[in-house]
């Protein structure tokens, strides 16, 4: 490698030498009308020494200024300026040496030599870049080459445009630019026309035969971003996006930072922001335990907790593969800076749970371990009760016994007026916490909607179905759901834990709900396919216990705001511990006696007063929706 570099420098020095010799010869010829015989011998004798002096001085200056180390294919304006400074400096020093050595040449010759050398020595280093620009701008392009539309003519867009032109790895051509600033319309970004604003996206995609769209406005509000991307997805082009402002701060505005558009980019809601200072103060130098720490939410909790410098992080999970994955990830990232312990344990094993709490004495517990799949829990209600209810109770009692200061349980919107057994068990878990008001441990619950990309969520299912050629299956085309990302869910849990007081339930303002049908259509389009044409969407009917519409809040007179405008607190009525204990005893008797499924569900309806029949809830929801449509039609 070093030998190759040496040869490269020697070749560049040889070309520089030929250019400098040529510059002196051409300057003298021009000065004396291209007649060698008319050049005075004094100048001829001065020419050779002047040339030798300049070659030596230029080589020294160029080595010092690293003129032999530029990557010619990617030179930019800053590089050209530095090159010009190097040439001027070398010429000035060599000229001073010639004056000191009394080597006369006409002033006009010196001026011409300087101009020729400046153009030649800088020009040769820009030649490859210039040739690549000419090829890019006027070449016909290769068959199958990506034809790219760039959205955003700001600094990020300019940087991506330059990389598209200069990188030999990029097999694509920038054909047009979109920007909402009307003052830029009709102008050019690096030779590519800015054709208009977002209203021109679909037309420009057809006119320029676009195959890929790059979104390069990292500072835009999420609502605006979603609006533009929703237009883009109608073009059928592949969408890629520069993730966010942090890319600018880290200097990562490059094609390597660009990612494919994800469904969460189209949700149209500003992501919840974590109050890092509050959470860091809450977790720093604490012993923190995460049950279910290998799951989707649990593992993200572990990642974010690790950034807050806990004294020790304990991951508790029954599934060793997931626990191993997050353990290795955190070890790679933090090494010995994070005191990480992993315990394989079922929360249903009371003795083992108590043993772990006695060993570590955690300060904070995030309880994410639970069975969460609605249809499976409808078929296996006894398992849902054993794991979600009794498992939670074991962890709650262990937390109280071993002095845990704060306990945060991960709940769900399905616990609000539940219509299925899984939701009812999660509501009963909330009730367990609400019954512990006199405890020295502060208990709280955090509710949120469906988590995009989590294990068993609808997005991975849709992606698999699309990859297999369809059909994409949805239970009902009317279904709507609230969505959030995995990092958002973890952020909410951490911040709620930091601000929580006894027996509070935290909920997130998740914006407008999303139709599952729309989600499926968007995902198909983001895959470069056309819904109903390339991929069929099939309705298969509601599953047992499934609602058409989810609710995030129970009916309550007390809904309080917090310092985070996206997080609210719902205060619940006091639930006597006696009622909870009676319920636990009844459940234990039913499960131990292996009572039939319908009897278990009937008992849960008694213990959770808000547990309702799904058919009744869905029928009421449809009637409300039809009534609203009728009123709207009358007004129209």
Contacts 24+ apart (CB under 8 A), 189-198: 189/150, 189/153, 189/157, 189/158, 189/161, 190/158, 190/161, 190/162, 190/165, 191/133, 191/137, 192/150, 192/161, 194/153, 198/151, 198/227, 198/228, 198/231
Per the omega criterion (within 30 degrees of 0), is the bond before 471 cis?
A: yes
Q: What is the per-residue DSSP string for 463-523?
A: HHHHHTT--EEES-TT-EE-EEEHHHHHHHHHHHHHH--TTEEEEE---S-EEHHHHHHHH
The tokens 């032999």 sit on which residue?
A: 68
Buried b (16+ CB within 10 A) or exposed e, 269-305: beebebbeebbbebbeebbbbbbbbbbbbbbbbbbbb
Residues 6+ apart with CB under 8 A from 245: 218, 219
Report helix angle 41-64 to 77-100, nearest 10: 130
Of 414, 426, 547, 566, which is the active-site residue?
Answer: 414
CA 274 to chain centroid, in Å, comes to 15
DSSP 8-state code for residue 368? -
Pairing of strands 212-215, 472-474: unpaired
Contact assessment for residue 408 and residue 491, using Cβ atoms and an 8 Å cutoff: no
Among 192, 184, 241, 237, residue whose Cα is nearest residue 217? 241
| DSSP letter assigned to residue 169 | T
Strands 480-481 and 514-515, sheet pairing: antiparallel
In terms of Cβ atoms closer than 10 Å to its own Cβ (0-12, 13-18, 19+), residue 571 is middle
Determine whether 533 is an active site residue: no
Q: Running DSSP on this structure, what letter comes out for residue 271?
A: P
- The owner of tokens 């601000």 is 499
Spatial neighbors of 40 by CB under 8 A, at least 6 apart, are none
Strand residue runs (E) in 265-392: 287-291, 312-317, 340-344, 364-367
Question: What span, in angstroms and rounded, lies between the C-alpha atoms of 617 and 417?
Answer: 9
- 3-class state of residue 430 by DSSP: helix
Query: By C-alpha distance, which of 488, 489, 479, 546 is closest to 514?
Result: 479
Give the DSSP H or E segment for 580: helix 577-592
Interatomic CA distance for residues 594 and 118, integer angstroms: 92
Q: Measure the CA angle with vertex 475, ends 474 and 477; round to 5°.
A: 70
Place of tokens 């508790």: 316
Q: Which residue numbers are catalytic? A: 414
């Amino acid at each position: 490698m070093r030998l190759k570099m040496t040869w490269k420098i020697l070749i560049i020095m040889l070309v520089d030498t030929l250019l400098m010799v040529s510059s002196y010869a051409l300057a003298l010829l021009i000065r004396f009308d291209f007649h060698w015989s008319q050049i005075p011998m004094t100048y001829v004798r001065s020419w050779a020494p002047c040339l030798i002096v300049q070659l030596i001085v230029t080589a020294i200056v160029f080595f010092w200024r690293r003129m032999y180390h530029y990557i010619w294919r990617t030179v930019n304006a800053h590089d050209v300026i530095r090159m010009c400074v190097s040439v001027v400096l070398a010429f000035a020093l060599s000229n001073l040496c010639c004056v000191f050595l009394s080597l006369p040449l006409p002033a006009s010759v010196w001026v011409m030599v300087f101009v020729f050398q400046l153009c030649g020595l800088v020009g040769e280093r820009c030649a490859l870049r210039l040739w690549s620009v000419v090829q890019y701008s006027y070449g016909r392009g290769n068959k199958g080459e990506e034809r790219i539309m760039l959205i955003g003519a700001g600094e990020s867009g300019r940087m991506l445009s330059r990389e598209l032109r200069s990188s030999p790895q990029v097999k694509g051509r920038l054909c047009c630019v979109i920007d909402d600033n009307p003052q830029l319309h009709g102008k050019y970004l690096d030779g590519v026309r800015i054709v208009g604003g977002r209203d021109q996206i679909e037309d420009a995609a057809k006119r320029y035969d676009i195959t890929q769209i790059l979104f390069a406005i990292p500072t835009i509000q999420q609502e605006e971003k979603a609006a533009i991307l929703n237009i883009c997805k109608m073009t059928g082009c592949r969408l890629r996006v520069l993730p966010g402002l942090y890319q600018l701060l880290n200097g990562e505005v490059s094609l390597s930072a660009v990612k494919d558009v994800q469904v969460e980019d189209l949700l149209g809601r500003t992501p919840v922001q974590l109050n890092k200072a509050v959470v860091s103060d809450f977790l720093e130098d604490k012993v923190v335990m995460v049950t279910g720490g290998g799951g989707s939410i649990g593992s993200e909790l572990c990642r974010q907790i690790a950034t807050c410098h806990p004294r020790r992080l304990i991951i508790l999970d029954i599934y060793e593969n997931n626990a191993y994955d997050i353990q290795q990830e955190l070890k790679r990232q933090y090494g010995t800076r994070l005191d990480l312990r992993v315990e394989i344990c079922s929360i249903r094993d009371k003795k083992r749970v108590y043993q772990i709490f006695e060993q570590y004495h955690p300060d904070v517990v995030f309880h994410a371990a639970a069975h969460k799949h609605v249809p499976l829990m409808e078929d296996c209600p006894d398992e849902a009760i054993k794991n979600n209810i009794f498992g939670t109770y074991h962890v709650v009692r262990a937390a109280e016994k071993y002095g845990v200061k704060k306990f945060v349980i991960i709940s769900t919107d399905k616990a609000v007026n539940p219509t299925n057994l899984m939701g009812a068990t999660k509501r009963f878990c909330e009730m367990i916490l609400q019954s512990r008001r006199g405890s020295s441990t502060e208990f709280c619950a955090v509710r949120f909607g469906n988590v995009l990309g989590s294990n068993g969520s609808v997005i991975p299912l849709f992606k698999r179905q699309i990859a297999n050629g369809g059909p994409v299956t949805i239970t009902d085309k009317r279904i709507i759901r609230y969505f959030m990302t995995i990092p958002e869910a973890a952020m909410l849990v951490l911040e709620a834990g930091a601000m929580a007081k006894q027996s509070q339930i935290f909920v997130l303002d998740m914006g407008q709900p999303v139709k599952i049908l729309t989600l499926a259509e968007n995902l198909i389009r983001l895959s470069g396919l056309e819904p109903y044409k390339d991929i069929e969407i099939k309705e298969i009917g509601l599953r047992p216990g499934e609602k058409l519409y989810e609710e995030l809040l129970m009916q309550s007179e007390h809904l309080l705001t917090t310092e985070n405008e996206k997080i609210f607190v719902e205060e619940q009525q006091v639930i006597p511990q006696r009622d909870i204990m009676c319920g636990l005893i009844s459940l234990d008797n039913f499960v131990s006696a292996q009572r039939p499924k319908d009897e278990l569900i009937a008992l849960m309806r008694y213990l959770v007063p808000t547990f309702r029949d799904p058919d009744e809830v869905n029928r009421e929801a449809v009637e409300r929706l039809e009534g609203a449509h009728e009123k709207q039609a009358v007004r129209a």
